[in-house]
Chain A
Amino acid sequence: EAEVAQSPRYKITEKSQAVAFWCDPISGHATLYWYRQILGQGPELLVQFQDESVVDDSQLPKDRFSAERLKGVDSTLKIQPAELGDSAMYLCASRSRQGDYGYTFGSGTRLTVV
């Protein structure tokens, strides 16, 4: 079964440092999402890509978060500087262009900011 790859699996960083997460969606999936899941809550969308273009980043804290998908394949989410409140699971998901409506999630990156 095809999977969405994410790395690293866990990340501990100090407050004010920079941190980056990587996601490789299922081959051929044009739509890629980054979600943040705070412990005990549901996932919340941070940014949505269609191919290499940002479709929705309305919930992305743009003063410290950035995301890119330069070639329309893999994607990087960056936080700089990290704050204590950024501690969460960062989930990447992908979906094919048409016909398959369900997301497939990656295993996520659990970020702890100390």
Chain B
Amino acid sequence: GENVEQHPSTLSVQEGDSAVIKCTYSDSASNYFPWYKQELGKRPQLIIDIRSNVGEKKDQRIAVTLNKTAKHFSLHITETQPEDSAVYFCAASIRGFQKLVFGTGTRLLVSP
């Protein structure tokens, strides 16, 4: 079945460092790849997304890259801040944009 793998499960960095989270997907027809940030006890919130016709997208300190050939995509956070601490989920669309399959999450801890 459709599957999204996410690594690492936990990531600890010092404030100001960069953080990279990687995901791979199994469905070659996937064409939409969002990233969600979830703070403890709160709902997942969309922070950035990328479509299959684009290789890279950037929004201030956050960027996402996509390699369709290898079927993997990554989230890059630069100049991390303590408020970036949260669980981050990647997802890949199935059957066009109809359904999202989520990764298992990465707990990011940014220490001051």
Contact = CB atoms under 8 A, between A and B. Distances in A.
Interface of A: 31, 33, 40-45, 48, 55-56, 91, 95, 101-108, 110
B89 interface: yes
A48 B98 contact: yes
Nearest to B43: A105
Contact of B102 (A43, A48, A101, A104): A43
B99 A56 contact: yes
Interface string B76-112: 0000000000000101010001111111110000000
B105 A101 contact: no
Interface of B: 4, 6, 32, 34, 36, 41-46, 49, 51, 89, 91, 93, 97-105
24 contacts: A40-B105, A41-B104, A41-B105, A42-B89, A42-B91, A42-B103, A42-B104, A42-B105, A43-B102, A44-B102, A45-B99, A45-B100, A91-B43, A101-B34, A101-B49, A101-B51, A101-B97, A102-B34, A103-B34, A105-B36, A105-B44, A106-B43, A108-B43, A110-B41
